[in-house]
Amino acid sequence: MDGNGRWANKRLLPRLAGHKKGLDALQIIVKASVKHNISTVTLYAFSTENWNRPDEEIKGLMALFSDSISSQTSKLIKNDIRVRILGDTSIFPRELRSRIKYLENESFKNKGLNLNIALNYGARSEILMAANKFFKNSKLSKISMKEKDLNNNLYTKGMPDVDLLIRTGGQKRLSNFLLWQAAYSELYFTNTLWPDFSEKDFVDALYFFQNTERKFGNLKGNK
């Protein structure tokens, strides 16, 4: 979800206006995901590095997250969407934490789209958290960790690996996003800023994925 600030700057608007417009794009992509039978979508909304932004912007984002969750909860539940927040939410304001917990609990049994929102998320910190969690809970001090052990301690426990990773805004890097889960994902980069990212843009990315031969290290790939 990259490009909110640049979208606002191009229009001589406050950066928060770009973040608000980005929420419109989020709703469009969620609806498109349901329409095109996508099982799981993970959106990177706020990284561990984003705390370095100006205090005013961070305060505005916290309020925006809280208001958005409050206004969209009933709609998400009604549309059978399960929402999970990936990241360390303990540092967030109490009201935001409460609304996150309510949304996750109320949508827990939903069977439609799995919608993950990465908030205060960083892949490196997630991997460290998972490793520490495993060894803390291990009864054997010298036990060897396996891939499945790490998988079972990540925020994404029980979820499939990333098939397609879409980066908007013209940058061509992963920016500490789902590094473990995206090991074999197809990478799709677009110059379109997130607030302008439409259903057509999303479908173009899906066509790119559909026409990519995936080999996973083998000589013969899969479409």
Residue 193, classified by CB atoms within 10 Å of its CB into exposed (0-12), middle (13-18) or buried (19+), is buried
Establish if 216 belongs to a structural domain.
no
Q: Using CA atoms, how far apart are residues 36 and 20, in angstroms rounded to an integer?
A: 25
Question: Are the beta carbons of 43 and 26 closer than 8 angstroms?
Answer: yes
Establish if 129 belongs to a structural domain.
no
**Structure confidence at residue 215 (pLDDT):** 72
Q: Is 9 a catalytic residue?
A: no
**Structure confidence at residue 140 (pLDDT):** 64
Summarised one tens digit per residue, pLDDT across range 194-219 is: 999 999 999 999 999 999 987 776 75
pTM of the model: 0.90
**Structure confidence at residue 219 (pLDDT):** 56
Establish if 147 belongs to a structural domain.
no
Establish if 42 belongs to a structural domain.
yes
Establish if 126 belongs to a structural domain.
no
Establish if 155 belongs to a structural domain.
no
Which residue in this structure is represented by tokens 């069977």? 111
The number of folded domains in the chain is 1
Q: Is 2 a catalytic residue?
A: yes
Q: Using CA atoms, how far apart are residues 183 and 202, in angstroms rounded to an integer?
A: 21
pLDDT band per the 50, 70, 90 thresholds, residue 223: low
> Which listed residue (4, 24, 50, 196) is catalytic?
50
Residue 40, strand partner residues? 114
pLDDT band per the 50, 70, 90 thresholds, residue 143: confident
Establish if 134 belongs to a structural domain.
no
List of residues 6+ apart from 20 with CB closer than 8 A: 64
Structural domain span for residue 202: 4-121+163-210
Establish if 136 belongs to a structural domain.
no
Summarised one tens digit per residue, pLDDT across range 148-193 is: 999 999 999 999 999 999 999 999 999 999 999 999 999 999 999 9
> Which listed residue (2, 114, 116, 120) is catalytic?
2
What DSSP string runs through 148-208?
HHHHTTSTTTTPPPPSEEEE-TT--S-TTSSTTTTTTPEEEE--S-GGG--HHHHHHHHHH
Calculate mean pLDDT across residues 31-52: 96
Q: Using CA atoms, how far apart are residues 30 and 41, in angstroms rounded to an integer?
A: 8
Number of residues in the chain: 223
Calculate mean pLDDT across residues 74-80: 95
Q: Using CA atoms, how far apart are residues 67 and 87, in angstroms rounded to an integer?
A: 19
CATH of the domain at 85: 3.40.1180.10
